[in-house]
């Protein structure tokens, strides 16, 4: 909202712009224009000086033209009638001998958001596509996309599309890339730009002329071309070989994805490419850019899903630095869990152990869960570390350790005895819901091995009225009924009190229904209750299935170098659920087969 005194400021600017002495002095007049732009960026409505700014556009000073055109692009939609007065000046500047002036005028015309502007910009844009200056052609190509956007749902101009396809052979590499992007926007409804064999091979030959951004764009578009023969495929891969050595991470990732997609029938080629990309990925994982580092770590985890231990010899690269943000540390710990082997297990566990006492409770718990995950393979060392952590008597540490124990005894029943010996006194430092549920589950399932299990559960029953988490109450019910089957004398009174509370006093209907269910189940007889409740206490086969579930490279090759590894497949599906239902590949709408017509390329 404009601040007080805005009207006075606009009046003062109008007088300064109309001052003949200021108009005669170029630098002084330029300073007045800068004041107008400054006020505009500060939120002051300076549309009242539109007429004076239009007059100021009739100048040979290119800096002055830039300032005026910036102002007109901002206020043209508010003053459409007055903006038409500037069209003649802009059209005249599109024929100026200076290519900078021509390009600036054309860009400004295409940026005006006002009704009826299409009929004025169509001819200048077509002239710009044939201009001798590469800068003007760059602007004109992007202007084509803007012009199509202004036209809305009208039919695509076939002449314009063919003109853009022909410009793919332009000498200026930026014009070539701009043409691809413009065609993608213009032909979006028809499936996007079509990449046929002549276009694909031409783009491959021009790769060395493109900058890093242009190479990334071209590599993404080349995903749409399918080689006709094995010989052509390997010729393309040979031409792309240099891109894998690029200093730009974006080019390396785009080239890697193209290799993986094209070589889908040659697993050995895919593996060789992933071996070659190991160096650039490791460099990105240690980059100062946190965003780049996080994305690289996500892709490393994706690769490890198909090639376990692929980065094992470089495990120290994934040790956390104290200055790294939490989300990067968590990703590195996830990677370390997948790189553990007989040679480095001791070093990795020592590193993770040092994170368990971090000042960040979330990071400390993440390190404990990582050790718990490694414990599925190296049980004895990890259980020893986790048991020692219980001696710290820290709430968040104890909670995470108990949760890790719960998962561990389910997958590795051989460590149940060691876990049960560590459980006594854990309840003293337990406040959060997840930790309580894990401890109660362990006492319910393996309580016959823990001498004081009924008395620990009794303490939970004594405080059940103050318990705020219904999930804890439900877990407590199940655990007590299970333990009652094996230690009835010690649990009968405790279970009776808990059932009475849940049925008669509990306000949460889910907990009340669970209490009624167990009460009626016990009425049916102890043997029937045992049959229903005494399910298996562990299932080691689940851990075995997890270890063997390696994903082939072809399963995720199309997701490589996208946001899917960052978000996860399920989350990304939710994020994109409301997007337009268009087929996509490599982040762009996929090119559908096209017959001769509006959008078919005439490139040869």
Q: Report how far residue 580's alpha carbon sits from residue 551's, in angstroms, rounded to the nearest whole number.
A: 29
Task: Specify the pLDDT at position 425.
Answer: 78
- Which residues have C-beta within 8 Å of that of residue 354, sequence separation ≥ 6? none
Q: Report how far residue 495's alpha carbon sits from residue 43's, in angstroms, rounded to the nearest whole number.
A: 69
Task: Specify the pLDDT at position 63.
Answer: 86
Give 329's pLDDT tier (boundaries 50, 70, 90): very high
CA torsion, points 376, 378, 382, 384, in degrees to nearest 10?
120
Q: Report how far residue 196's alpha carbon sits from residue 346's, in angstroms, rounded to the nearest whole number.
A: 54
Answer positive or negative: Cα dihedral of 415, 416, 422, 427.
positive
Q: Report how far residue 305's alpha carbon sits from residue 550's, in angstroms, rounded to the nearest whole number.
A: 6
Reference 351, options 397, 89, 339; nearest CA is 339
Task: Provide Rg for the chain, Cα atoms.
Answer: 34
pLDDT at 233 over 60: yes
For residue 185 the two structure tokens come to 């926007």
Lowest-confidence region among 42-46, 196-200, 302-306, 349-353: 42-46
Reference 53, options 40, 36, 39, 41; nearest CA is 36
Average pLDDT over residues 99-123: 84
For residue 403 the two structure tokens come to 């949760």
pLDDT at 118 over 50: yes
* pLDDT tens sequence across 374-388: 998 899 999 999 999
* pLDDT tens sequence across 495-520: 999 999 999 999 999 999 999 999 99
* pLDDT tens sequence across 253-282: 999 999 999 999 999 999 999 999 999 999
Give 411's pLDDT tier (boundaries 50, 70, 90): confident
* pLDDT tens sequence across 191-223: 889 999 999 999 999 999 999 999 999 999 999
Task: Specify the pLDDT at position 603.
Answer: 54
Q: 3-class SS at 376?
A: coil
* pLDDT tens sequence across 440-479: 999 998 888 888 899 999 999 999 999 889 999 999 999 9
Reference 410, options 368, 450, 376; nearest CA is 376
The length of the chain in residues reads: 604
Predicted structure pTM score: 0.80
Task: Specify the pLDDT at position 549.
Answer: 52
For residue 321 the two structure tokens come to 């630095």
Cβ atoms 470, 511 nearer than 8 A: yes
**Look-up of token digits 């102002």:** 71
The partner residues of 588 in beta bridges, in order of sequence, read 585
Average of per-residue pLDDT values in the chain: 86
pLDDT at 286 over 50: yes
pLDDT at 143 over 50: yes
Give first-to-last CA distance, the chain, whole Å: 55
Cβ atoms 64, 30 nearer than 8 A: yes
Give 584's pLDDT tier (boundaries 50, 70, 90): very low
For residue 333 the two structure tokens come to 């710990």
Q: Report how far residue 157's alpha carbon sits from residue 544's, in angstroms, rounded to the nearest whole number.
A: 59
For residue 177 the two structure tokens come to 């890339």
């Amino acid at each position: 909202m404009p601040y007080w005194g805005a009207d006075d400021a606009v009046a003062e600017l109008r007088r300064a712009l109309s001052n003949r002495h200021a108009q005669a002095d170029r630098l002084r007049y330029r300073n007045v224009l800068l004041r107008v732009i400054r006020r505009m960026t500060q939120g002051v409505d300076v549309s009242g000086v539109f007429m004076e700014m239009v007059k100021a556009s009739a100048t040979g000073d290119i800096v002055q033209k830039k300032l005026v055109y910036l102002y007109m692009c901002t206020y043209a939609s508010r003053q459409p009638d007055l903006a038409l007065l500037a069209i003649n000046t802009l059209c005249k500047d599109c024929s100026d001998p200076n290519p900078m002036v021509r390009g600036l005028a054309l860009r400004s015309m295409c940026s005006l958001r006002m009704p009826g502007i299409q009929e004025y910009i169509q001819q200048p844009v077509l002239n710009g596509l044939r201009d001798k200056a590469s800068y003007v052609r760059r602007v004109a190509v992007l202007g084509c996309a803007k012009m199509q956007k202004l036209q809305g749902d009208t039919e695509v101009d076939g002449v314009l599309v063919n003109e853009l396809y022909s410009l793919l052979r332009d000498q200026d590499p930026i014009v070539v890339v701009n043409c691809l992007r413009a065609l993608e926007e213009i032909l979006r409804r028809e499936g996007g730009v079509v990449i046929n064999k002549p276009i694909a091979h031409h783009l491959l030959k021009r790769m060395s002329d493109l900058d890093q951004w242009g190479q990334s764009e071209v590599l993404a578009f080349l995903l749409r071309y399918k080689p006709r023969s094995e010989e052509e495929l390997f010729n393309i891969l040979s031409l792309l070989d240099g891109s894998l050595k690029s200093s730009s991470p974006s080019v390396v990732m785009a080239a890697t994805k193209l290799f993986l997609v094209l070589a889908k029938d040659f697993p050995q080629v895919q593996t060789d490419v992933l071996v070659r990309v190991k160096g650039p990925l490791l460099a990105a994982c240690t980059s100062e850019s946190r965003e780049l580092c996080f994305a690289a770590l996500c892709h490393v985890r994706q690769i490890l899903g198909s090639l376990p231990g692929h980065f094992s010899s470089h495990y120290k690269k994934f040790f956390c630095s104290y200055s790294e943000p939490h989300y990067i540390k968590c990703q590195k710990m996830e990677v370390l869990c997948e790189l553990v082997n007989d040679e480095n297990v001791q070093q990795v566990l020592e590193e993770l152990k040092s994170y368990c006492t971090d000042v960040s409770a979330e990071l400390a718990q993440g390190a404990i869960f990582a050790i718990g995950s490694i414990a599925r393979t190296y049980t004895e060392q990890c259980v020893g570390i986790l048991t020692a952590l219980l001696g710290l008597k820290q709430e968040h540490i104890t909670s995470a350790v108990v949760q890790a124990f719960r998962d561990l005894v389910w997958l590795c029943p051989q460590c149940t005895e060691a876990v049960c010996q560590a459980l006594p006194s854990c309840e003293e430092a337990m406040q959060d819901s997840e930790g309580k549920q894990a401890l109660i589950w362990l006492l319910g399932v393996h309580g016959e091995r823990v001498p004081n299990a009924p008395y620990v559960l009794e303490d939970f029953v004594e405080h059940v009225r103050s318990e705020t988490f219904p999930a804890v109450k439900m877990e407590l019910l199940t655990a007590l009924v299970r333990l009652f089957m094996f230690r009835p004398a010690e649990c009968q009174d405790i279970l009776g009190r808990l059932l009475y509370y849940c049925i008669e006093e509990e306000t949460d209907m889910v907990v009340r229904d669970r209490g009624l269910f167990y009460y009626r189940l016990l009425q049916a007889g102890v043997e029937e209750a045992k049959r229903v409740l005494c399910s298996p206490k562990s299932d080691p086969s689940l851990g075995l299935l997890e270890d063997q579930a390696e994903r082939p490279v072809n399963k995720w090759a199309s997701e490589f170098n996208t946001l899917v590894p960052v978000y996860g497949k399920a989350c990304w599906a939710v994020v994109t659920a409301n997007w337009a239902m268009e087929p996509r590949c490599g982040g762009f709408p996929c090119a559908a087969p096209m017959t001769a017509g509006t959008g078919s390329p005439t490139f040869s």
